[in-house]
Amino acid sequence: MTFHAKITGYADPALHAAGLYIGGKWRKGDGIAVMNPSTGDKLAEVADASVEDAMRAVDAAEAAASGWRATPARQRSEILRRWFQLMTQHAEELATLIALENGKALPDARGEVAYAAEFFRWYAEEAVRVPGEYRHTPSGSHHILVDHEPIGIAVLITPWNFPAAMATRKIGPALAAGCTVILKPASETPLTAYAMARLGEEAGVPPGVVNVLTTSKPGAVTNAMLADPRVRKLSFTGSTGVGRTLLAEAAKSVVSCSMELGGNAPFLVFDDADLEAALDGAMIAKMRNAGEACTAANRFYVQAGIHGAFVAGLTARMAALKVGPGYDPATQCGPMITTNAVRKIDRLVTDAIALGARVTTGGKPLAENGYFYPPTVLENVPTDAAIAREEIFGPVAPVYRFESEEDAIRLANDTEYGLAAYIYSQDLKRAMRVGRQLETGMLGINRGLMSDPAAPFGGVKQSGLGREGGVTGILEFMEAKYYAVDY
């Protein structure tokens, strides 16, 4: 008997496979198989939404919009707070569900649930603190009053790698701002989204304020919603390629867009770094969710004087990780999301080896029933290898040597992406000096983890538009209205 067949209660995949959630009602259906990447077995089957279903979701969001917009901020805040509390109460069950459908190791899944819940608590607090402005014009002839209003119906598109956190990071500020939403989770990991919707019901979210639909036709369904003039916001997390397509589609209706796209994060280690601290940070930055994260360290640039010791230390730590099913409490590195993900990683590693890279641990797909690739370290990686340009999205750490500070900056910026970067140095002046020259939206200095609901999350260049989280996150779902006032 497989592990997931023994699940009962809230973590049971079958409980969340009823169907679409539109207007506070569950619509039964099937058509999309949800697989367990740890075994290759089918977990459940969920409804496959049509364009007509998407339009019903827009109708439901519109029907709920005026009432939710008029709901006092304190009341919206209390609903989000209750949602946070319910996620906390059901944390272990949600983590198990994530481990089953996503494959991430249980410690990572527990961390995601805690992180995800915090977005509801943070925006419960921000809901009652929306800023405004009142001042005189420079001429003194009249007054300037600036208010912020909900932008309107928002379409939220989330990826499979953080099925809980990417949903709450969008739903939290949207609801706090007074918007109604349609959430389209990734078809690989829809069960967590439906579980969250059930908790939202229990928290008191009115029907139609949050709608959830899964589809195997994301292009047609999304395009239909963006073409509807009632939809005024698109918030997307995913690849840069898909983001570009969505931006072009949204432009046809001048829909406001927030885009959190791909990354190619450099991890810079200078000779004066604390080696053990740098290795600790490297393991976090690389191996969170087995490397399937947009902020994952993708390129390790290590200064010549510490390079050998760093490679040896990273190799030892990566080789010691236990690979296994995500739901196994002993697992430290779970499977990749699909067989295609394994093939991509293998292609990048094989190319790097052919160009002269040396494998110090790992380097070949594992012969398992699930979708496994082992923790891998590569050294002497040529900077023209494909792995230096493409987002790996897996447990592979390519290490490059650099000599000078100027070389490190040049190499780090040699990418179209600019989401996250990391610097390890005990010289804070150097770290800040280098940091100011890195083309990135977020920077970790002597830290391997930078995500925090209270901080603005987002990138520059081809890594996106706008920011999620922090005090600015709620403003992504609001419009500033200026009143010119005389009295």
Q: Which residues are catalytic?
A: 260, 294
Helix-strand-coil percent breakdown of the chain, rounded to 5? 40, 20, 35
Calpha distance 413→240 (Å, rounded): 17
| Tokens read off for 89 | 């109460």
From 390, 20, 43, 366, select the one nearest 188 (Cα to Cα).
Answer: 43
| Cβ-proximal residues to 109 (8 Å cutoff; 6+ apart), any chain | 94, 95, 96, 98, 99, 102, 326
| DSSP assignment of 298-309 | EEEEEEHHHHHH
Q: Which long-range contacts (CB under 8 A, 24 or more apart) does 452-457 make?
A: 453/115, 453/118, 453/119, 453/121, 453/122, 453/169, 454/122, 457/169, 457/260
Tokens of 56: 């019903």
> Residue 345 — φ and ψ, nearest 5°?
-60, -45
